[in-house]
Amino acid sequence: MNLILVTFIILLAFTSYYFGRKKALVIQSSQRLTALPKFYGYYLAAWCAAPALIIFVLWSVFEPSIVKTFILQDYTDQNLTKNELQLIYTKVKALAVGTYTGNITNFLDESANKYIQLKGIANSAKVAIILAILIFSLSFAYRSVQKNDRMREPVEIFLKWVLFVASLGAVLVTIGIIFSLLFEAIRFFQAVKIFDFIFGTHWYPAKTFVRDGQPDPELMKDAFGAVPLFAGTFFIAFIAMCVAIPIGLLSGIYLSEYAGRGVRKYAKPIIEILAGIPTVVYGFFAALTVGPFVKEIGNAMGLEVSSESALAAGAVMGVMIIPFISSLSDDVITAVPQNLRDGSYAMGATKSETVKKVIFPAALPGIVGSILLAVSRAVGETMIVVMASGLAANLTMNPLESTSTITAQIVVILIGDQQFGDPKTQSAFALGISLFIVTLFLNVIALSVVKRYREKYE
Amino acid sequence: MSKIIAENVNVYYGSKQALFDVSIDIAEKEVTALIGPSGCGKSTFLRCLNRMNDVIDICRVEGSIKMDDLELNSRKLDVVRLRENVGMVFQKPNPFPKSIYENVAYGPTIHGIAQSKEEMDQIVETSLKKAALWNEVKDRLDEIGTGLSGGQQQRLCIARAISVSPEVILMDEPCSALDPIATAQIEELIDDLKKEVTIVIVTHSMSQAARVSQKTGFFHLGKLIEFGSTEKIFKNPDKQQTQDYITGRFG
């Protein structure tokens, strides 16, 4: 029903576009148009689609809760809790569509009938109202087309509002995510002291699990120390950067300064394809190839190596980040004005001297910015760590042992059975928001560094 | 006394020929001006003299260019040594984003000219003095070179070019980005410098060519139309084309 209605509105809008354009051509024969004919079409189409669709969306949003209020009115005298009322409403809905399998009481049956009836009324009302609006707005718009009113401005204003609504939606969703993170995190910090979270050195949320009731506060104190996770996150990111920065930077310099046009033409897209490999592929590469390889080498040298080592995860993550750094630093280096290169070459400097003394220093802020962006990517990377670095949060600085990161722990916490309102579940939100703050911080610094660099030339 | 002798120089960018059989004698310790409309090949010719065309992949140079009997257009030529001897100043001032001191010290450092810090200080000071910039910047040598005004930046570039005591300085429209006062300062500087070095200057301004140069060459569509003393070119040119250009009838 809804689908048919929306399709109808959209088809009508298309039709009115062509109709409006045609009408404009008719007007053109007798008087001067106020805009190109297509604006007449846009004007009619916008007036056709926008009011009807807005009402449709609003109706769809509010209809369920209004119906629910009507149904539950019959139950107000029974002194039920909110959860019980919700349960009843679910049952009524299930009964109405025929998927209910429990005992059918008279009362329920009556409510279900009422539900079906209400739904029917609502649907017909919706169709009627929307048709009325379509007729009203179309006739209004048609009249101003006939009068040959100014068409360009209303269309431009309409487009501005469409764009505004789209960006408002994006912003609101982001804000919503942040707030939901924040509220859950605040609930978590009511159960666990923020001090214990930030400075505690033991992360073992599983031990706070109790079947019913609240866990022991003493246990809570020692279970949610995030230090091992932060340490693990930055440690693995550090290993990754040790791999990615030298290789990425040197290949970026090669591509921008040394590679001939032929090489660059093919090498650059290939490197960028590397950036498109799904991280889960890197993950099993790390877990199944690099991890055992590191372990074998270590064992051959007489070292004790865990098969899930920070080294393997970090190294593969570094490989994943190489294209990121090389591509960005290539762009930054290419952006260094040619006249600086000319100036250096004209002084008799060789290529490597020019790169080292002129181009690299000039591009340095941009390179630093790209490295910071890469770090924030490494910090937020999940899949490789989950698969290759282990899930036990050891506080260690030994790259051959297994360690865990913030992202990996969030995965551990939120897969499988969980209970909302449980500190263990809520801790994921606390971790999420701290990760968000860290990467936000890195991104802000990176962007401001890059921006300052941009201002330097012109 | 000729410093540079070019014979039958042809330059190609890919399949497009930019210079046709250019032959020219550039005299020592004089200012030679190259004039002509945009795209006539005068900058291309200038860039042959310090092999800056090497930087452009698709560029190919044929013919012979001799500087003091050294063939410049040869694969065996040591380009680094050549550019130490032939400095260049560009159209747009291009100081490095480093301090004023480092800008001037750049050449002496890469060529290992100064043996000590004192010697380097001396070179920087002399070069800046010769470029008539010393008095304006002597108290702020640590400041970044790109922070100077346009005219100062261009004089800094000249100081950078003369820091390695070149025998020839090439100038590619050095004043086109500058205001008249800065232009006058640079022209004065060119007049001073020619006592010690040979200068080849490409310019769009005919009055500038007339003011600063002793010899002038007129380029058109990749050919050297006429070459001779500046006085003759401006007062009594042999070719009608030159006459038309000088009097502003085309170009």
Backbone angles phi, psi at B35, to 5 degrees: -120, 165
pLDDT score at A218:
67
What pLDDT is attached to residue A2? 83
- Check if the beta carbon of residue A387 is closer than 8 Å to that of residue A238: no
Helices (H), A103-214: 106-146, 152-191, 194-199
CB neighbourhood size of A190 (10 A):
10
Q: Are B61 and B35 in contact (CB under 8 A)?
A: no
pLDDT in tens, A86-119: 888 888 888 888 787 777 777 788 888 888 888 8
Residue A236: what pLDDT?
Answer: 92
Closest of B130, B176, B191, B124 to residue B155, by C-alpha:
B130
pLDDT at B47: 92
Q: How far is CA A307 from CA A85, A311, A348, A411, B204, in A?
A: 53, 10, 53, 20, 72
Residue A389 tokens read as: 């670095």
Contact in structure between B42 and B219 (CB atoms under 8 Å) = yes
Q: Over the Cα atoms of chain B, what is R_g?
A: 18
- Distance in angstroms (rounded) separating the CA atoms of residues B213 and B205: 12
Q: Is A346 on the interface with B (CB under 8 A)?
A: yes
DSSP tag of B7 = E
pLDDT of residue A458: 42
Residue range A221-456 forms a domain whose CATH class is mainly alpha
Interchain contact, A349 vs B92, CB within 8 Å: no
User: How far is C-alpha A315 from the chain's CA centre?
Assistant: 26
Average pLDDT over residues A57-67: 89
Pairing of strands B86-89, B70-71: unpaired
| Residue numbers of B between 50 and 89 with CB closer than 8 Å to A | 50, 52, 55, 57, 79-84, 87-88
What pLDDT, in 10s, does the model give residues A146-201? 888 888 899 999 999 999 999 999 999 999 999 999 998 998 888 888 888 888 88
Closest by Cβ to A348, choosing from B90, B97, B111: B111
pLDDT at A456: 57
pLDDT digits (tens, 9 = 90+) for A259-306: 888 888 898 888 888 888 898 999 888 888 888 888 888 888 888 877
Interface contact flag, A345 B52, Cβ < 8 Å:
yes
| Fold (topology level) of B2-94+167-246 | Rossmann fold (3.40.50)
Where along chain A do its domains lie? 2-150, 221-456
- What are the Cα distances from residue B193, in Å, to A43, B49, B105, B167, B187? 71, 19, 19, 11, 10
A458–chain B Cβ distance below 8 A for any pair? no
Residue A1 clears pLDDT 80, i.e. is over it = no
Confidence of residue A212 (pLDDT cuts 50, 70, 90): low
Q: What CA–CA distance (Å, rounded) separates B47 from B155?
A: 20
Residues of A in contact with B98 (CB under 8 A): 361
CB pairs under 8 A between A and B: 68
Would you state the pLDDT for residue A210?
61
CB contact under 8 A, A357 and B107: no
Cα four-point dihedral sign A332, A337, A338, A344: negative
- Give CA separation, A126 vs A50, A80, B72, B96, in Å: 16, 32, 87, 70
- Edge-first strand order for the sheet with B168-172 is B86-89, B168-172, B198-202, B31-35, B215-220, B223-229
Residues of A in contact with B84 (CB under 8 A): 347-348
Please tell me the predicted confidence (pLDDT) of residue A391: 78
The number of C-alpha atoms within 13 Å of A415 and in the hemisphere containing its C-beta is: 8
Residues of chain B with pLDDT under 50: none
Chain A environment of B50 (Cβ under 8 Å): 346
pLDDT tens-digit readout, A10-48 = 999 999 999 999 988 888 888 888 888 889 999 999 999
Q: Which H/E stretch holds residue A306?
A: none
Inform me whether the pLDDT recorded for A457 exceeds 60.
no
Q: Say whether residue A456 is in contact with chain B using an 8 A CB cutoff.
A: yes
Cβ of residue A216 closer than 8 Å to a chain B Cβ: no
Chain B hits for A350, Cβ within 8 Å: 80, 110
How large is the angle between the packed helices A360-380 and A423-456, nearest 10 degrees? 170
pLDDT at A225: 85
Task: Please give the pLDDT value at position B101.
Answer: 94
A342–B98: do the CB atoms touch at under 8 Å? no
Q: Tokens for B21?
A: 């059989």
Cβ–Cβ below 8 Å for A343 and B146: no
What is the Cβ-side half-sphere exposure of residue A11, based on CA atoms within 13 angstroms? Answer: 6
Based on C-alpha coordinates, what's the Rg of chain A?
Answer: 31
